[in-house]
Amino acid sequence: ETGVTQSPTHLIKTRGQQVTLRCSSQSGHNTVSWYQQALGQGPQFIFQYYREEENGRGNFPPRFSGLQFPNYSSELNVNALELDDSALYLCASSSDYEQYFGPGTRLTVT
Amino acid sequence: EDQVTQSPEALRLQEGESSSLNCSYTVSGLRGLFWYRQDPGKGPEFLFTLYSAGEEKEKERLKATLTKKESFLHITAPKPEDSATYLCAVHGQAGTALIFGKGTTLSVSS
């Protein structure tokens, strides 16, 4: 059974640029959730996708957007990057309430 | 508003010195309480799900318990490899997200 994978591992971007992060869900899971984790904090919910539809959204601005594909993989897009967007971005897949996380993408905005 | 508070923020133990981590929560209709382990720079690793007060789960040196207001993660005779940040999260009826606490960073020295 393949776990949740994310790419890239690390990314450095300049303020104002756009970024796309990718996630492959665990086999058999049809739901993907994205979280942002700042240093020393718990993960904060960005949004969730269920069968290609957004199924819930946290307190993040519209410049954070996403997609889910028919194979249940997902993308997180962030436009107009700000310095505060520097964080570990986590993807989690699930088929019920238990969410299983990928290794994360470390985004640094300079 | 759903909320999770973990204490202490940091805990230093000697190898073999048992202790407990606390997770206090406020949630409208608990669907599940989750414990994760997170190593530095990595994604959270799923440990336990608890669904109702009185429930207990064990895995090696870890035991999780649940009441109507809080959960405890008991660590018996810890080893240095148990050093990590332990995250508690709840899933309530109101939404689709996991609500995380800030975590407890455990350091076990030999």
Q: Which residue of B has its CA nearest to A89?
A: B43
Q: Which of B48, B98, B105 would best serve as a mutation to test chain A binding (most A beta carbons within 10 A)?
A: B98
Answer for the pair B62, B73: CB distance below 8 angstroms, yes or no: yes
Strand partners, B19: B75
What's the pLDDT tens digit per position in B29-70? 899 999 999 999 999 999 999 999 999 999 999 999 999 999
Q: Which of A35, A47, A93, A108 would best serve as a mutation to test chain B binding (most B beta carbons within 10 A)?
A: A35
A101 and B31 within 8 Å at the Cβ level: the answer is no
Q: What is the mean pLDDT of chain A?
A: 95
Q: 């450095």: which residue's tokens?
A: A12
What's the pLDDT tens digit per position in A55-107? 999 999 999 999 999 999 999 999 999 999 999 999 999 988 899 999 999 99
